[in-house]
Amino acid sequence: MKYLLWISFLFIGESHGYVRLTNLKCESYDNTFVVFPECRLKVLGRGIIGANMHIKFLKLPINRMVLRFTTYRKLTGYHPFLFNVSDELCRALKYPNRHRVVYYFYTAFMPFSNINHTCPYNDDVYIRNCTLDDRMFAKVPLPKGIYKLTLEMDDGVMNWASIINIYFEIDID
């Protein structure tokens, strides 16, 4: 459970320089289902890096979508670390459950996005100026290191259609 708390704080609030986004990559495996017109990091201020994404779904509406979240820590190469969980988004939104990881990711991304409603989704999804926060490390210290979070989306019928790779560093003295 403590790791769920950790993740819930991850995307909320301002970064103070200890936790920073280092790279962002969005890849579609099926360009007839989803494309990413924008997927990049932007400097928002001194030491503050924000993520910007435009996720364009080509087969609307979205009534069902399995999401998979996996976290990795870099040692020699990236190794799975803490999470590898999947959940169906629309059901999770309809029956919010604080004990499901998807709920935490959703509430974390929501303030930076236009996805603050339940299914169906009929529009492009935008994530704007999404920053990482380090306040959580006061509560659940994570080892200093290099991490990657992947978010995979299926096409509604169990084919993985895309992957978003979010790279970040934790540098606590």
Ligand X SMILES: *[C@@H]1O[C@H](CO)[C@@H](O)[C@H](O)[C@H]1NC(C)=O
Q: Which residues bind ligand X (CB under 6 A)?
A: 44, 70, 80, 84, 116-117, 128-129
Residues paired with residue 86 on neighbouring β-strands, in sequence order? 68
Q: What are phi and psi of 24, to 5 degrees?
A: -145, 130
Residue indicated by tokens 């708390």 = 5
Q: Closest separation between CB of residue 118 and ligand X, Å?
A: 9
Residues paired with residue 146 on neighbouring β-strands, in sequence order? 169
Residue 44 or 119 having the CB closest to ligand X: 44
Q: Closest separation between CB of residue 129 and ligand X, Å?
A: 4
Residue 31 or 116 having the CB closest to ligand X: 116
Q: What are phi and psi of 134, to 5 degrees?
A: -115, 5
Q: Closest separation between CB of residue 91 and ligand X, Å?
A: 18
Secondary structure element (H or E) that encloses residue 138, with its range = helix 136-139
Residue 9 or 112 having the CB closest to ligand X: 112
Q: Closest separation between CB of residue 96 and ligand X, Å?
A: 12
Residue 28 or 131 having the CB closest to ligand X: 131
Three-state DSSP class for residue 78: strand
Residue 32 or 84 having the CB closest to ligand X: 84
Q: Closest separation between CB of residue 55 and ligand X, Å?
A: 15
Three-state DSSP class for residue 14: coil
d(CA 58, CA 20): 32
d(CA 170, CA 173): 10
Angle in degrees, 0-180, between the axes of helices 101-109 and 2-10, rounded to the nearest 10: 20
